[in-house]
Structure 1
Amino acid sequence: MRVGCNNFMKLAGFLFASICAWYLGSLFAYIIPEDSLTATIEHIQKVGEKPVLRAPPPKRQKCDHWSPCKPGSYAYRLLSGGGKEKMAKICFEDQQLISEEKKNAGRGINIAIVDYDTGKCIDAKYFDMWEGEFSASMIDFIKKAPQRSLLLMVTHDDGSTKLKEDAKKVIEDLGSKEIQNIRFRSSWAFIAAKGFKLPDDLEKEKINHSDNKKNRYGGWPAEIQIEGCIPPNLH
């Protein structure tokens, strides 16, 4: 009798535990929303997963430099025109001094003058060297640049056809080594300082001639660029 009684008690206990488990499961299912329950299960499943490390997106630098300039330095980027439609650009301290968007870029030689001590743009113009006589006005524009100013120059389309020798000499006196070599539709970029000296290792000038008729612009000049960081307190 004792064996039968013990078996009965075990069976009764098993049934009671099953009923309690079913009841508690139903109760939790009723109390806890399905979305929360699913999210909890997914969270538990992800606990053992190896985390995926993602590099943060690169921070944009001034004038689209790849790396930042040192504190206190000026960032610049000069981009010549490309083909017939892609206009020249002059960027200084992340400000577009000359560009198509500002509606002050044009055919010929584009020039921006910047106060070195303040970093502010004094004036910006372009001088058409294909149609019209603008060498004299460009000379006057350059000579009126005050001491301790930066002159940033870049071409679009043709900057040589009506560029006079006296205008070339003025630019040469600023330190240009390529202005005497400029030809029809050469791409040219140049940065100079008036009243102080730029570091020797700074990228100051570049020229490219449009001799290749098979380039992507069909013989029109391809764009070139120079960029760099101008340190503070130069003399």
Structure 2
Amino acid sequence: MTVWDHFQCHRGDCLLTGTGTLKAVFFIFASLCAWYSGYLLAELIPDVHLSSAVYSIQSIGKRPVLKAPTPKRQKCDHWSPCPEDTYAYRLLSGGGRDKYAKICFEDEMLIGEKTGNVARGINIAIVNYVTGKVIATQYFDMYEGDNSGLMTKFIQSAPSKSLLFMVTHDDGSSRLKEDAKKAIEALGSTEIRNMRFRSSWVFVAAKGFELPAGIQREKINHSDDVKNRYSGWPAEIQVEGCIPKGPS
């Protein structure tokens, strides 16, 4: 190897050594800058917002979940509220052997399983139309015993300006006699003579005043071995609505 070659190699070593030193200095400088920038950022952002910031970053791209408010419960479990100047009512016939009939008026259960005053036959509640207070409730077995006459007297005893609510549970027709049919017919029923064994029937009546033509007043559903919802019984039926209050 010549002196010139030795000199070139020596210069190359020097050049390599100089380049490595510059890289090391640059790396240290960049690290110091990054550390100082992080320090300043930590000082500027309060600690209490750090978790929120992390959550916000994680939530990017997720679809917002919209929750509908829980619907407010209405009187007698109506879907929509009745106006202030009306009475809310809901009548439900019995269904099967164990689903008892119900009569609800102004969110008060007048007849039902929880009140303990519902039974087989025709269940009736009488309400004072002016005050909205219940006058009397009674059930009349139409399968056993002679209760048709007693029910007729009960209906006729309702004072003027009364609301009468009637629902069946199980059978309401077997011992239903002509006098009772006439008394219920006089109140505006158009289905009482169509009652059959275990027909589901509900009826809203007024005594001493007229109900508005548009409200739900009466429904009937007959037992049918092919279409029955329950073994031997048709499905329960219901009517509900709002009755305008009269002058007090």
TM-score band (shorter)?
0.7 to 0.9
Q: Relative to 1, partners in 2 of residues 1:92 and 1:37: Cα closer, same or farther, differing over 3 Å?
A: same
| 1:109-147 per-position Cα deviation (integer Å, ceiling 9, x unaligned) | 000111111111111111111111111221221122111
Structure 1: gaps spanning 5 or more residues: 1-7
Please tell me whether residue 125 in structure 1 is matched to residue 125 in structure 2.
no
Indicate conservation of the 8 Å contact 1:185/1:209, yes or no: yes
- Where do 1:40-189 residues align within 5 Å? 40-44=53-57, 46=59, 51-189=64-202
Higher mean alpha-carbon deviation, 42-51 vs 91-100, is at: 42-51
Equivalents in 2 of 1:87, 1:55: separation in Å?
33
Indicate conservation of the 8 Å contact 1:147/1:194, yes or no: yes
Q: Relative to 1, partners in 2 of residues 1:221 and 1:46: Cα closer, same or farther, differing over 3 Å?
A: closer
Among 206, 229, 234, the residue aligned to 1:216 = 229
SS in 2 for 1:133: coil
Equivalents in 2 of 1:195, 1:234: separation in Å?
14
**Which one has a bigger Cα radius of gyration?**
2
Equivalents in 1 of 2:189, 2:37: separation in Å?
87
Equivalents in 1 of 2:211, 2:65: separation in Å?
47
- TM-score, reference length from structure 2: 0.79
Q: What RMSD, in angstroms, separates the aligned Cα atoms of the two structures?
A: 3.1
Deviation at 1:21, TM superposition (A): 5.1
Equivalents in 2 of 1:50, 1:219: separation in Å?
51
Deviation at 1:49, TM superposition (A): 6.6
- TM-score, reference length from structure 1: 0.83
Q: How many residues align?
A: 226
Equivalents in 1 of 2:197, 2:59: separation in Å?
66
Match of 1:229 in 2: 242
Equivalents in 2 of 1:114, 1:121: separation in Å?
4
Deviation at 1:218, TM superposition (A): 2.0
Match of 1:199 in 2: 212
Equivalents in 1 of 2:234, 2:227: separation in Å?
11
| 1:154-212 per-position Cα deviation (integer Å, ceiling 9, x unaligned) | 00000011111101111111111111111111111101001110011111111111023
Q: Relative to 1, partners in 2 of residues 1:221 and 1:51: Cα closer, same or farther, differing over 3 Å?
A: closer
Equivalents in 2 of 1:39, 1:202: separation in Å?
55
Q: How many percent identity over aligned positions? A: 63
Equivalents in 2 of 1:211, 1:95: separation in Å?
33
Deviation at 1:20, TM superposition (A): 7.0
2:190 is aligned with what amino acid? K
Indicate conservation of the 8 Å contact 2:200/2:220, yes or no: yes
Deviation at 1:23, TM superposition (A): 6.8
Deviation at 1:50, TM superposition (A): 6.5
